[in-house]
Structure 1
Amino acid sequence: MSASKALGQNFLFDAQLLDRIAAIPGDLADKAVLEIGPGPGGLTRALLKAGARVTAIEMDKRCLPALAELGDAYPGRLNVIQGDALKLDHAEIMNGESFAVLSNLPYNVGTALFVRWLGGEAWPPLWTSLTLMFQQEVAQRIVAQPDTSAYGRLAVLAQWRARAKLAMKVHRSAFTPPPKVMSAIVHVEPAAMPEGVSARMLERLTEAAFGQRRKMLRQSLKSVPGALEALECLGIDPQRRAETVSVDEFVSLARELSAG
């Protein structure tokens, strides 16, 4: 079966590598796992071998027969849903049970799904961890620190109430077909949510600040009511640029605006 460029598919078949990926979140015995874009089931097999109960969402009908064979090999442990992961309610699919997410994410939906899992006012989330394959450049943006070119909205959203780390780099030659870029796996676990902060406000702030990242805060945050006053109140220099503002400073700004 050939990988579909339109669906952002790059398959992994190296069993040893897949076992190492499945081990990143720890013991999966009898744990519920959500996998997005399993393709023909390389990672799915490793998860089932590790004892997980896997729910896999796959858009590509061509992959369903291979996944059905895996289901037969591990009776009652694999539930395959054919559909678009961006349009489905994951909590509903997982029957309200807490779950780990492990995925070699299709490149074209990876960031959108990641932002969705990190969003919303309800915290802690139903997911206990996210172990996700991204293009290396995207992975570096998730774990980036302030004052670096990779630091931006993804870093703030991933780090303000969760712990994100680069778990493993994966060479392009491990994939079929090999993508043009290197890949990396990011592992994220929920942390305590800072009090008095609206997630929506933080998202709005980072959207505005990094949407015009080369401009000073006094310019980029003009569209957020009260933001310039909040900068002054917190003693944050409005002449700074977004990439110099730490996660804690963004949280303080969001708290100030959430209170207002």
Structure 2
Amino acid sequence: MSQIDNLPPLREVIATHGLRAKKELGQNFLLDLNLTARIARVGGSLEGVRVIEVGPGPGGLTRALLAEGAREVIAIERDARALPALAEVAEAYPGRLTVIGGDAMDMDYRLLADGPTRIVANLPYNIGTQLLTGWLTMEPWPPFFESLTLMFQREVAERIVAKPGEDAYGRLGVLAGWRADARIAFNVGRQAFVPPPNVTSAVVHIVPKPVEEGLPVKLVEQVTKAAFGQRRKMVRQSLKSLGVPVEGLLAAAGLKGDERAEDLPIEAFLAMARALPGLR
């Protein structure tokens, strides 16, 4: 038996159901139920919380979320091979696990929320950044979820939490820093996965925070895309791709123009985004 419930160990589950990880699905399975329990606890108590999980695979994190007291888990799994294993988890936790067979990229996650809702997932590496960007750009804001606890490649995790002046600081760091408080909870070594990926991973915890009303996300994204599109150049040059008088943008943000995007505080990007419509 496993450490957290009466279900078989995950290696046995994988062997029984023939769940060889598929590279094309970005799959890397976590088999250590102590580790999955640690991930489940990152955001605090799960009592009374509905958890949305993306890519449960054989159900290791799913089991941890349920064992840690989640009111209900909604698991989205594209790989039909994993559905019988997840059905066994559902049977062990009656009425608390709903499995949706489908593509995580096609979901309207707002429709899955019910009361206190969090998203906790060992995300498939090939869609992780795209899913996170979608969640961070939702309107209205703050969104339907209380928090995100997500596994990424360590390099992506560093981009999410990066601050101005750091090498990893870029568009993702501006977006996350503007709309949320993000931290790396802990690293996860290659050998924790089957098959082992080529890189170290990290669990990131993200909590939405209030932002000013009336500043569309698309304006901020347009400014950061231009500024970081030529990140080594001075912003006076890189911002020209926006097609507006650059001096107006610089004045709005209190910039001289010889700065580089990687050194600008988040507020500078927001100030330029506010000014952008009036310069067109």
Instruction: State the TM-score, normalized to the length of structure 2.
Output: 0.88
| Alpha-carbon distance in structure 1 between the residues aligned to 2:198 and 2:245 | 41
Q: Map 1:161-200 to 2 at 5 A.
A: 161-200=179-218
Shift of 1:225: 4.4
Note the alpha carbon deviations across 1:167-199, whole angstroms, 9 max, x for none.
111111111111110000110001120344221
Q: CA RMSD in A?
A: 1.5
**Partner in structure 2 of residue 21 of structure 1:** 39
Q: 2:124 matched to 1:106? A: yes
**Partner in structure 1 of residue 4 of structure 2:** none
Note the alpha carbon deviations across 1:136-188, whole angstroms, 9 max, x for none.
00000111111121100110010102100011111111111111100001100
Q: 2:80 matched to 1:46? A: no
* Segments of 4+ moved more than 6 angstroms: none
Pick the aligned partner of 1:117 from 135, 142, 162.
Answer: 135
Task: State the SS of the aligned residue for 1:165.
Answer: strand
Q: Which has the higher helix share?
A: 2
Q: 5+ residue gaps in structure 1?
A: none
- Amino acid paired to 1:171: G
Q: 2:106 matched to 1:87? A: yes
Q: Map 1:29-44 to 2 at 5 A.
A: 29-44=47-62
Task: State the SS of the aligned residue for 1:179.
Answer: coil
Note the alpha carbon deviations across 1:59-103, whole angstroms, 9 max, x for none.
1000000000000000110010011111111112336x4410000
CA contact (8 A) 1:166 1:186 kept: yes
Shift of 1:215: 2.2
Q: Map 1:146-165 to 2 at 5 A.
A: 146-165=164-183
| Alpha-carbon distance in structure 2 between the residues aligned to 1:253 and 1:81 | 41
| Alpha-carbon distance in structure 2 between the residues aligned to 1:202 and 1:28 | 34
| Alpha-carbon distance in structure 2 between the residues aligned to 1:102 and 1:81 | 15
| Alpha-carbon distance in structure 1 between the residues aligned to 2:108 and 2:230 | 32
Pick the aligned partner of 1:55 from 70, 74, 77.
Answer: 74
Note the alpha carbon deviations across 1:111-130, whole angstroms, 9 max, x for none.
00000000034111001100
Task: State the SS of the aligned residue for 1:86.
Answer: helix
| Alpha-carbon distance in structure 2 between the residues aligned to 1:110 and 1:190 | 18
| Alpha-carbon distance in structure 1 between the residues aligned to 2:172 and 2:78 | 26
| Alpha-carbon distance in structure 1 between the residues aligned to 2:245 and 2:239 | 6
User: For structure 1, which segment, 201-210 or 68-77, has the greater mean C-alpha deviation from structure 2 after superposition?
Assistant: 201-210
| Alpha-carbon distance in structure 1 between the residues aligned to 2:55 and 2:210 | 30
| Alpha-carbon distance in structure 1 between the residues aligned to 2:206 and 2:245 | 29
Could you say which structure has the larger radius of gyration?
Answer: 2
* Change in 2 beyond 3 A, CA 1:204/1:13: same
Instruction: State the TM-score, normalized to the length of structure 1.
Output: 0.95
Note the alpha carbon deviations across 1:32-63, whole angstroms, 9 max, x for none.
10000000100000001012110010010000
Shift of 1:217: 1.2
Shift of 1:210: 1.3
Q: 5+ residue gaps in structure 2?
A: 1-18
| Alpha-carbon distance in structure 1 between the residues aligned to 2:91 and 2:110 | 25
| Alpha-carbon distance in structure 2 between the residues aligned to 1:85 and 1:211 | 28
Aligned length: 259
Paired-residue identity, % = 53
Task: State the SS of the aligned residue for 1:33.
Answer: strand
* Change in 2 beyond 3 A, CA 1:230/1:77: same
* Change in 2 beyond 3 A, CA 1:204/1:121: farther
CA contact (8 A) 1:35 1:102 kept: yes
**Partner in structure 2 of residue 231 of structure 1:** 250
Task: State the SS of the aligned residue for 2:196.
Answer: coil
Pick the aligned partner of 1:142 from 153, 160, 163.
Answer: 160
- Amino acid paired to 1:231: L
